[in-house]
Structure 1
Amino acid sequence: MDAKDGFRFWHYDGQSAVRRSVLLREVGNGFVPQEPETGWTGAPVDWAELTVIGTEGGRHAYGHRTLPGWRMGFNGDAPPAIAAHLPQAERYGRWIDRWGFWPAAGAFTLVAILVVCAVLAAPRWIAPLIPRAWENRMGDAMVGDFGGRFCHTVAGDAALKALVARTDPKGEARDVALANIPIPNAVTLPGGRIILFDGLVQKAASADEVAGVLGHELGHVRNRDTMNALVRQLGLSVVLGGFSGNAGGTLNGVLALSYGREAEAAADGVAIAQMRAAAISPADTAAFFERMGGKGEAGRAAQAMTWLSSHPLSAERAKRFSAAVQPGARYRPALSPAQWQALRGSCAADRNVAKAFESPF
C-alpha cells in the first residue's frame, strides 16, 4: 500500500485545527499521512496505535492511543489493503468479542452461580472461625441498648435461675435475662446471651411454655446461629465493628434476623431434647405455638409479624412438639406455681426497672 492507491482520509494532527485530506504512505509497521496538494507530511504512526472512535452509518473515525486530538477517518469502505490494518470496533468488550456473546454469557452465568453459592455457604464456615471473645464482646455491648429494662426481684431472679437450671443444666448460655418489653418474643444475642421479653412470659399459660421457647433459644446458642445469620445478612463488618460504637444498629439487625428453616428445625430439636432430659412436657409448647399462630395459615402469617416475629410460626412446628410427648412419661412442671407467679410478676414488682414501651430500639 502506498499513497498512489488514492484512498483519502480526513485527518487532524492534534497540533492545529486544520482539517486535511491525506493519503497514507506505508512505512514499516505503520504509515505516514501526506497531503499532496500542500506538501504537508505528518509524523509516522503504527497501525497498532490506532483506536476506534466510531463506526456508524458508513462513517469511520479513529484516534491515537497517545496523541490527544489526533483524528483520522473516512466515509464508505476502505480498500482491503487498508481495511486489513484498521482496528475493529468492540461490540461488547474485548474479551467478549474474542469469545463471542453466547460463550461469554454462559461463562458469566456460571461465575455468577458460583459466587452466589459461595456467598450463601460462606457464613457456615466463617461463623465458627470467629473468636468466641469477639462474639462475647458484641453481645455484651448490645446488652446496654436495653436501657435498664432488665427485671430483678429476689423471687423472680430465683425463679428464672431455677428455670434455666432445668432447661440448660450444662450452662451453655452465658446469661439468661428477663426484659421489661411487652412484645411476646425472645432473642439470642451473640456470645450466648438469651433475653426473654416480659410479653412472652405474660402470654404464656405456664412455665413449661417458656421452657420450650428457652430451649429453642438455647439451640441457637449451641449452633451459633446468631453469628451465622449476622454474617449472612449484615456482612463481616458487623464482626469487626459491631461492638465498637454501633451496637445499637447491630442489635436492630439481631432483632430482625431470620435463621432459615434448617436452623429453626435444629433449634426446635434442641428444645425437645432438653425438655425430655428435664422431664418437662413439650405439650404446652405445642399449645403455645398453636395459640400464638392463631387459626389457619393466613392467621399465622399475619400474627407472626408481631408474635415471635423472628421465629416463624407454623402448624408443623406445633405438631413436632406435640408428637414429642411420650405416652406414660412422668413429667414435672418446669416451675412450681409460686415460682411461676414470681417470674410473671418480676417486671411489675421491680420498682427500678425502666418503663416498658412497645419497642426500645
Structure 2
Amino acid sequence: AVAQAMTPRPSLKRKVALYMALVALGGLAISVVGWTVLYGLFVEPELNAKGGAWTFHAIDYVGLVVFALCCLALAAGAARSLSRRIVAPVSSVALAARRIASGDLAARVSVDDKSLGEVAGLAEDFNTMANRLQTLDQDAAFWNAAIAHELRTPVTVLRGRLQGVKDGVFKMDERLTTSLLGQVDTLARLVEDLRIVSLAESGYLILQARPVALHDLVREQQAMMGPALREAGFDVNWRPGQAWALGDGPRINQAFLALLENARLHATPGPIICESVAEGDDAVFRVIDSGPGVAEDLRTQIFDRFRRATPESQGSGLGLAVVKAIAEAHGGQARCLSTPDGGSIFEIRLPISISTTVQAAT
C-alpha cells in the first residue's frame, strides 16, 4: 500500500493531451474507414462496370499522413488551451492546500477570467473555506487572549490577598472574606458564561422546554436586581406584561439577568424600562435605557463574545454573548435597537408558548 501510494501519477495535462490525440486519430480513422466502405459499396461497382479500378496511390497515402498530422496539431493546440484552463487552477488549488496544511492560512487561489465555470467555482469554494479557517484561527487566538485577560484580574487579586494573609499583612476577617468570595464569584460567573457560549456554539446546550411565564421572571428580577439598580442610580419602571414562552426557565432567567447587569454596568444612570410583552408569535423581554446608546455599526456585533462598545467598558464582554446564545438555542433572537432620544433597546424574542391561552386562563 505504501509503495502504491508513493508511485508517481501521470499529470492531468499529459492525460488531456493524450486523450485529445486519441480522439483526433480516432476521428480520422473513422473517416477513412467510412469513406472506404462508401466507395466500396457505391463507387467501386460503377468503376468495375466501366472497366476501371479503384486503387490507392502514393499521393493518397501522403494525403492521409498530412491529414493525420493536421489532426494531431489541432488536437495538441486544443489540448494545450483546455489544459491551461483546467490544470492551472487545479494546480493552484493543490499548491494553496499544501500551504494551508503547512500553517499558512493566508494562502488563496487566483482564478482568471478564462477558467472554466466548474473549475472557477472550485477555486472560489476553496477560497471561501480558507477565509473561514483563517477567521476561526484568528477568533481562537483572540478568544484565548481575552479569556486569559479576564481570568488574570480575579486570580491576581486572590493571590495577592491570600499571600498577604500568609505574610501577616492582612487579617482574615469578615470584610476580607467577603472580598475574596466576590472574586471567586467573578471567576465562577466567567467560567459559567464561557461554558454556556461554548455549549451553544457546539450545539450541545441542553434545554428543558416548558411553558415559562416571562412576567413572573420580570417580578423575580425586580426583587433580585431592583436594589442594585437603585443603588447604581437607576429609576426602573417594571412592566411585567403577560407573556408566555416555550423554553428553559432558568436559562431564560439567566439571560434576563445578563441584560439587566449590562444596563447596570454600561447605561447612563436614570430612568430605564424593564418589560415583558407578547407580540405576535413572540414573547419579548425588553430593557430600554436612556443612553449612551450603541453605534449603528456595532449593533449587529454587540452580542459577539468579548465585544465591547468602547475599550473602557466594564465587564467580561461575555454577558451579551450569553444572551444571544440562550435566545438562539430557544429558536429566538437577541436584538439591539435605538430609541429616538439616543438610548438603547436590548430585547430577547422567544417563540410564544402554544399553551399561552390555557396558561393565561388559569
The two structures share one fold, judged by TM-score above 0.5: no
Give TM-score, length-normalised by structure 1.
Answer: 0.25
Higher helix fraction (1 or 2): 2
Give TM-score, length-normalised by structure 2.
Answer: 0.25
